[in-house]
Amino acid sequence: MSESDEIKEIKDQFEIPVQEVSAALESILFVSGESVTTARLCEILGVERKTVEDAMKRLINDYENDPWGGLLIRKIEDSYIMCTKPGMKKVLDRMFSPRMRPPLSGASYETLAVIAYNQPVTRAQVEAVRGVSSDSIISRLLDRGWICESGTLDAPGRPTLFSTTEQFLLEFGIESVDELPSMELMSYKTIRDLEMSLEKAAGNDDRQISIDSYMEENKDETDNEGGDSDGEYD
């Protein structure tokens, strides 16, 4: 038997008592510093998916209900991450005050909303909805870590596609983009503060504007305006 086979056999013989699974998961997330997928946790511990999911549910509940702790465990899509409680933001802002970032403008939240609800989306498509150049805002959102380049569109010029990130989900307190409330993307009163709208927009109209539907509506309106104009001059 080769040395690599021996190492693999030793690794495959790894077993962890059920009562230690929660502690092991907590340790993994603590040292990781980033999200870890459920599949990876199962692989590391050599346990079934249900065992990991049940243990993580208990840990999430324990952290959320600990009034003395400053940490949380969050589920982000099919991954888990250890993070600080929102209530600790002011303390951490003081700690990192030399690197404090200015708050984003309403236009930035507007651009973020267009990307979040239509992702993956190109820069040109974002600008088609907003009606103005969005280069600098997209750059700021990239720097903030809320969006990322997620490929290219199969079209002339191969334009870059943008999508929201795991950091976006983490900071906005949602597990996946499926939890985003339905909202009217062209209603500026709603999207000037996307953070507030995640709570307030849950009871809004279910209608959601996509880039394709918006451009189609604009085309229809343009055609109608053209006909009215011809009638006036006649």
Residue 95 domain-assigned (yes or no): no
Provide the CA 87 distance to its chain's centre, in angstroms: 20
Which of 37-41, 147-151, 186-190, 222-226 is predicted least confidently? Answer: 186-190
Q: 85 and 123, same structural domain?
A: no
Residue 232 domain-assigned (yes or no): no
Residue 122 domain-assigned (yes or no): yes
Could you give the CA distance from residue 147 to residue 162 in angstroms, rounded to a whole number?
A: 6
Residue 224 domain-assigned (yes or no): no
Say what the pLDDT of residue 232 is: 34
Q: What CATH number has the domain bearing residue 12? A: 1.10.10.10
| Tens of pLDDT, residues 72-124 | 999 998 999 999 988 888 888 777 765 556 677 888 888 898 898 888 889 98
Characterize the bridge pairing of strands 147-152 and 121-122: unpaired
Over range 49-75, report the average pLDDT.
94
**Domain limits for position 36:** 3-89
Q: 110 and 69, same structural domain?
A: no
Q: Where is mean pLDDT largest: 23-27, 33-37, 150-154, 183-187?
A: 23-27
Is the pLDDT at 66 greater than 90? The verdict is yes
Is the pLDDT at 201 greater than 60? The verdict is no
Number of domains the chain is built from: 2
Say what the pLDDT of residue 25 is: 96
Residue 173 domain-assigned (yes or no): yes
Q: 51 and 15, same structural domain?
A: yes
Could you give the CA distance from residue 211 to residue 119 in angstroms, rounded to a whole number?
A: 10
Q: 111 and 215, same structural domain?
A: yes
140-149 contacts at long range (C-beta below 8 A, 24 or more positions apart): 140/104, 140/108, 141/108, 141/111, 141/112, 141/115, 144/101, 144/104, 146/112, 146/171, 147/112, 147/115
| Closest C-alpha among 201, 25, 27, 170 to residue 86 | 170
Residue 160 domain-assigned (yes or no): yes
Token pair in block for residue 134: 């969005």
Could you give the CA distance from residue 65 to residue 74 in angstroms, rounded to a whole number?
A: 13
Residue 135 domain-assigned (yes or no): yes
Over range 156-182, report the average pLDDT.
85
